[in-house]
Amino acid sequence: MIRTSPDVVARRLEDEIVLVNLTTNRIFSLNRTGGRYWELLDEGLEQEVIVGRLLDEFDVDRPPLEQKIADSTAQLRREGLGSGT
């Protein structure tokens, strides 16, 4: 399970979300899908609920979505934007 880091500030700017890691001062930009994933994470939802919501909201198949989520989760952890098991 991953959670958004309390050291990150997020702001929506049109179709993307900009993240600022307050610890490193690094800035990240998430596209529409990635931004929605961040919003759902920030709500504290479980991964399976997030997958279901994204499948409902976007025209995407489950296997590539699950792979993208796994890749994004790993990157969020590497960059200090998310934490958890």
pTM, entire model = 0.89
What letter would DSSP give residue 74? H
Query: What integer pLDDT is reported at residue 1 of this predicted model?
Result: 76
Dist. CA 38–CA 76, nearest whole Å: 10
- Residue 2: name the closest of 52, 68, 47 by CA: 47
Write the secondary structure of 13-61 as one string of H (helix), E (strand) and C (coil).
ECCEEEEEECCCCEEEEECHHHHHHHHHHHCCCCHHHHHHHHHHHCCCC
The residue extents of the domains of the chain are 3-80
pLDDT per residue over 5-49, tens digit each? 999 999 999 989 999 999 999 999 999 999 999 999 999 999 999
**Whether pLDDT at 58 is above 90:** yes
* pLDDT tier, 83 (very low <50, low <70, confident <90, very high otherwise): confident
Query: What integer pLDDT is reported at residue 85 of this predicted model?
Result: 55
